[in-house]
Amino acid sequence: SQTIHQWPATLVQPVGSPLSLECTVEGTSNPNLYWYRQAAGRGLQLLFYSVGIGQISSEVPQNLSASRPQDRQFILSSKKLLLSDSGFYLCAWRGRQLSGANVLTFGAGSRLTVL
């Protein structure tokens, strides 16, 4: 069966420090991968998506970047964190078959607090 892992689960970082959040998927190949941010326990904002290794699409201009070094690995990074980067970050995947009709499967999330 397919599983998705995100780490770390919780992170407290000072302003100006770097960030690396990692997401890996098991039990599938060629997934579409997504990073969402949820602020204040409400709506989800799509940050990045990837349809293959090295292929990253950015949805909003921001202080963050994403990379996909391997088929089932998706990394969210920042060189210098801002206070506004605080939030709950969710990684998700969906299978290629049936395209947009596929269900998104989410990781448990990474809560980032920037002080």
Partner 1 sequence: AQSVAQPEDQVNVAEGNPLTVKCTYSVSGNPYLFWYVQYPNRGLQFLLKYITGDNLVKGSYGFEAEFNKSQTSFHLKKPSALVSDSALYFCAVSLDTGGFKTIFGAGTRLFVKA
- Rank residues 15 and 51 by Cβ distance to partner 1 and give the closer one: 51
d(CA 71, CA 63): 24
Residue 7 or 88 with smaller CB distance to partner 1 = 88
Asked whether 60 and 47 are in contact (CB, 8 A), the reply is yes
CB-based contacts of 47, cutoff 8 Å, min separation 6: 35, 36, 37, 58, 59, 60, 62, 64, 66, 76
Answer for which of 2, 30, 57, 63 binds partner 1 (CB under 8 A) is 57
Pick the binder of partner 1 from 11, 22, 28, 46 (CB under 8 A). Answer: 46
Measured CA angle at 47 (ends 46, 52), to 5 deg: 100
Interface segment toward partner 1; rule CB under 8 A; list 11-19, 48-56, 62-70, 78-86: 48-56
The binding track of 61-100 with respect to partner 1, each residue x by CB under 8 A or -, is ---------------------------x-x-x-x----xx
